[in-house]
Amino acid sequence: MRLLLSVPEKEEFAQSSSIIYFQVENIHGAYDELLRKEVTFIDEPHLIAKIGQSETWMAFFKDSEDNTHALMSEFDV
């Protein structure tokens, strides 16, 4: 488990709830599956960080109460 505490990068993320990150093995597959289920995504899967031989990818989405959450995938390149 990883816990990240920080100030929001953008005003749209400054709300009373916290972002929950859902770790998935295949971010593109999970993204496509949730799109078919009409989940509202803010963006497409994209590279967030590259540290050594490891990449972290994320895709942010809204839940039914308009809270922001994200899919997250980490893998070695």
- pLDDT single digits (tens) 38-75: 999 999 999 999 999 999 999 999 998 888 899 999 99
pTM above 0.85, yes or no: no
Q: Which one-letter DSSP state was computed for residue 19?
A: P
Q: Which fold has domain 19-76?
A: 2,3-Dihydroxybiphenyl 1,2-Dioxygenase; domain 1 (3.10.180)
CA distances from 2 to 5, 20, 22, 39, 63 (A): 10, 11, 11, 24, 21
Residues 13-44: tens digit of each pLDDT:
666 677 889 999 999 999 999 999 999 999 99
For residues 14-42, one letter each, b for 16 or more C-beta atoms within 10 angstroms of the residue's C-beta and e for the rest, the string is: eeeeeeeeeebeebeebbeebeeeebeee
Listed by start position, the domains of the chain span 19-76
